[in-house]
Amino acid sequence: MSTFCQHRARGFAGLWLATLLVSTLVLRAADSTNLTVHATDDPHPTGEGPARLEQSTRVVLNTNAPVVTAAETNALGPAQKSFTWKVAWEGWNGLQIEAVQRTPLTDPMESLGLQPKSTGPLSYLHLEQVKLSGKFGARIDVDGAAFATTGDLTGFDPGIQLRRLRVFAGGDCILVLPLSYYIELGYGAGKFSLNQSTLTFPAGKYLGTLQVGQFQAPMGLENITSSRDIAFMEPAAPIQAIAPGIEAGAQIGKPIFDQRATWALGLFAPGAGAIEYGNASQNFGSLVSRLTWLPDYHPDPDHPADNHLLHLGLSANLLYSANSSVRYQSRPESYIAPNIIDTGELNANRAVTFGLEAAWVNGPFSVQGEFLRSDVGQNDVGDLAFYGLYAQASWYLTGESRPYDPESGSFNRLIPRHSLGHGGLGAFELTCRLSHTDLTDGNVQGGRLTMLMAGVNWYLQPHIRWMFNYGNGHVSGGPNVGDIFIFQTRIGVDF
């Protein structure tokens, strides 16, 4: 090779090394031995999903080379692991895991064959890319309830119940394709179940993501929002009765218009777990879709009193029953209570359900409401129409504002401004909800339920919440008629 080429190659290598060293020195060293250079513009990527791992590639320079003795100069050194695991317990954030693949980077002069391999500092330069990250956690909810009834309502036994015990693992990884994973095993009401199990893949610019497995079908703001983050112990009775719950299926969707709107479309069938609430039909296939829009959205995390948003949503569920049977039922917004309105098994092979949703947040105050109607095609008898609606309000006495997730079109975990033991007593929320569910039409006397529910929520810190609910309900239009009074409480902990 000509001298000119050698000088150009050496110049390239020098420039490459100088750039790397300058970039390294402007970053804070992790310790006195290792300096890290992030290969992305954002050294602390905050995005969700497997794309976040692709941003985690970094160049690491080990400045202290291992000592090589004369006796070791002709021997092979110990093999360095190219795949390492990092495990850390992060308190309330659970057990965090990370798998990192290390790819050695060689001196460009060696790559070009211009000099033999050496044991200099460049031999210890390598890329680190996070190939897998995840979290192991758990959630525990314990309920207590007492009831008083009038009329012919029966089966309301007071007691204390383990409402939920869930263990979950979830995170992101890069294998052949980047994907996210989540699995949740649960125990509640005396039964073990597979609550959720999903894999989520990028589906392209226009389709967003593809999610497959067992998860919440995209209908009902109360259902899409995690049960950990809704304002009451249980969803409103209309949502429990008519909207689909956790089912097996496949779904595509994404946020659009700079996260001012979302869309989702999925095909579903009965899942493997027990039905917690939701449409009680047992053998079906359904097409479920949801659209949301934020005509007004101005979050201000530093000044919660200035937060304001308006959320609007529309959803639809086209259900076909393979065994010509459809069923809707609901409890009176207490899981310890029995189902008190129930259509029974309807001789029908199809149902079409529409849902409207709206929510408004203005600082510490928020209101939310939904309306659902299901038209059921009875075989050889005639169509039936069932419906339900609710409206609720909440007010944070301590000045917080209800957090919203624009990527899913739902509400998120509340972070108290001053947690208990850290300069305050946590966050306090007053709530009130009025709902009406009508499962009586034509020859079906499933019953009507009107519920008034009020509550106080105490968020001791982001992972501990104590809830108190008082409810008064009236049941009519079915085999059972009467009034019900509910006193219930829940302590919930997750990590």
CA–CA gap between residue 262 and residue 266 (Å, rounded): 14
Q: Report if residue 410 sits inside a domain.
A: yes
- Residue 167, in any domain of the structure: no
203 alpha carbon, distance to own chain's centre: 19
> What is the rounded CA–CA span in Å between residue 451 and residue 436?
6
Q: For residue 60, is pLDDT > 80?
A: no
Give the residue from 86, 111, 132 where a domain finishes: 132
Residues 126 and 211 placed together within one structural domain of the fold: no
Q: What beta strand segments (E) does 217-283 contain?
A: 246-256, 261-269
User: Do 310 and 218 fall within a single domain?
Assistant: yes
Q: Mean pLDDT check: name the lowest of 22-31, 78-87, 351-360, 441-450.
A: 22-31
The verdict on 114 and 222 lying in the same domain is no
Examine the domain organization and report whether 113 and 233 are in the same domain.
no
User: Do 347 and 459 sit in the same domain of this protein?
Assistant: yes
Domain presence at residue 156: no
Q: Is the pLDDT of residue 387 over 90?
A: yes
Residue 199 has which token pair? 């894999």
- Please report, for the domain that includes residue 273, its CATH number: 2.40.160.10
Q: How many domains are contained in the chain? A: 2
CA distance 311 to 291: 11
Tokens of 191: 């039964």
Is 351 among the domain residues?
Answer: yes
Which pLDDT band holds residue 463 (cuts at 50, 70, 90)?
A: very high
Give me the chain's average pLDDT, please: 82
> Residue 463 and residue 492: Cα distance in Å, rounded?
8
pTM value is 0.80
Cβ-Cβ contacts under 8 Å for 90 (sequence gap 6 or more): 96
- The string of pLDDT tens digits covering residues 5-33 is 444 444 434 433 333 333 333 333 333 33
Closest CA to 453 of 224, 154, 230, 152: 230
Q: Which domain holds residue 67?
A: 3-132
Residue 217 shares a structural domain with residue 111: no
202 neighbors 50 (Cβ within 8 angstroms): yes
Characterize the bridge pairing of strands 444-461 and 308-321.
unpaired
Q: What is the mean pLDDT of residues 287-301?
A: 95
Nearby residues of 109 by Cβ (< 8 Å), 6 or more positions away: 9, 10, 13, 115
In a domain, 139, yes or no: no
Is residue 395 a part of any domain in this protein? yes
- Least confident stretch, 58-67, 162-171, 440-449: 58-67
